[in-house]
Chain A
């Protein structure tokens, strides 16, 4: 299969890209790594009239430490995150998650910003950004705005990005010295989309966890936090009794949606399995 004909432009700077996007409106698509978009174009599931290649725009590149947060540019690839020393030190959850994303060839091209803007509920980065309390930096015709990950993922494949917006970068608060993390996904084969996954962080003191953030993905229309389970665990000694309570809270507060091969009940069950393993890991 080959894509339908389209125009192609490669602006050098962000303002130029924004005005091209504003001009073309809904007929334009931004392209960075192209790991989802190109497949869709070749299958003719989408036929934009123009592709705006943003890979030359320097403001969208690089991982930098800025005070108490990390700035991850939208064009940073999955592989760059996997190999970055700054990420390993200040956002170790991301390093743990990166190898779960598809396969090496895809990780070499696919981007952080592309994954977030696409908002696939089974993807790793939306879930991690929610767990880590990331802030999305977005540029649109009206200038810059900042939106928390919590407000960014609205619905299935739907984020708060408008058609004329560009996601420029993300800010992530750096991990404290007592941060512990757990990332795991249950998939049929490595590289497949998870049947269910968990991205979790907490602060650990002895057997007590505080500031818990447990985000499940591939279970609903967006990545979803287990707020009640977090509250049950926060500030308490983690023992089997507490784990049982947290597991049953997570299973009842998250409404799983079935996918083509897995029922909602199966996903509901796996949410508990993941949380139990995660809690045991976090306090070990």
Chain B
């Protein structure tokens, strides 16, 4: 599955970058985030309650950052395990650009989902991923004191 999107956040680039690297801001922005800790500058661990439709599964995941260019871009690799429910792993690239009215955040994510979550939830996995991404940016923008405008978000199966 591939997920792409663009969000305009009404905050300066440096604030958005700081926010994306601040685990307290992330904890409040990630839907269902129960625990988050930074192991090293490049590694973050989190526990997330994934709650969508009939599914309520607790995922513990790891996030590895690379190619970090402050105020510009970074790459992320992630893997999460939800016990009996299944697992997810993938990579994501995030870029920040100066735009009228704030900062333009564009992201592309490639993820694969396995286990029972993949079998049962597969039909609506793209729609679920889009909803989670949109929820995240809404909350994230609120944390930075602004509003998020979804310019484009689009999922496709790969």
Contacts and interface: CB of A to CB of B under 8 A. Distances in A.
Interface string A44-62: 1111100000000000000
Given A40-B55, A264-B154, 16 more contacts: A40-B54, A43-B120, A44-B83, A45-B55, A45-B56, A45-B117, A46-B57, A118-B54, A119-B53, A158-B131, A257-B126, A257-B127, A258-B157, A259-B123, A259-B126, A263-B156
A118 B157 contact: no
Interface of A: 36-37, 39-40, 43-48, 118-122, 155-158, 193, 220-221, 257-261, 263-264
Contacts of A157: 52-54, 124
Given A40-B120, A260-B157, A264-B156, A45 B57 contact: yes
A155 B53 contact: no
Contacts of A45: 54-57, 84-85, 116-117, 120-121
B33 interface: no
Contact of B120 (A39, A47, A122, A257): A39
Interface string B11-55: 000000000000000000000000000000000000000001111
B92 interface: no
B89 to A, nearest CB: 18
Counting contact residues on chain B (CB < 8 A from A), the size range is 20 to 34
Contacts of A118: 53-54
A258 B117 CA distance: 18
Nearest to B121: A45
Q: Is the interface of B mostly helix, strand, loop or mixed?
A: helix
B56 A263 contact: no
Interface of B: 52-57, 83-85, 116-117, 120-128, 130-131, 154-157
Nearest to A220: B127
A120 B53 contact: yes
B122 A260 contact: yes
B125 A260 contact: yes
A261 B156 CA distance: 10
Q: Is the interface of A mostly helix, strand, loop or mixed?
A: loop
A81 B120 CA distance: 27
Contact of A258 (B53, B55, B120, B156): B156
Nearest to B85: A45
Given A45-B55, A45-B116, A118-B54, A258 B126 contact: yes
B123 A260 contact: yes
Given A122-B123, A193-B123, A47 B128 contact: no
A156 B57 contact: no
A37 B52 CA distance: 13
Contacts of A258: 126, 155-157
Given A39-B120, A45-B116, A259-B127, A156 B52 contact: yes
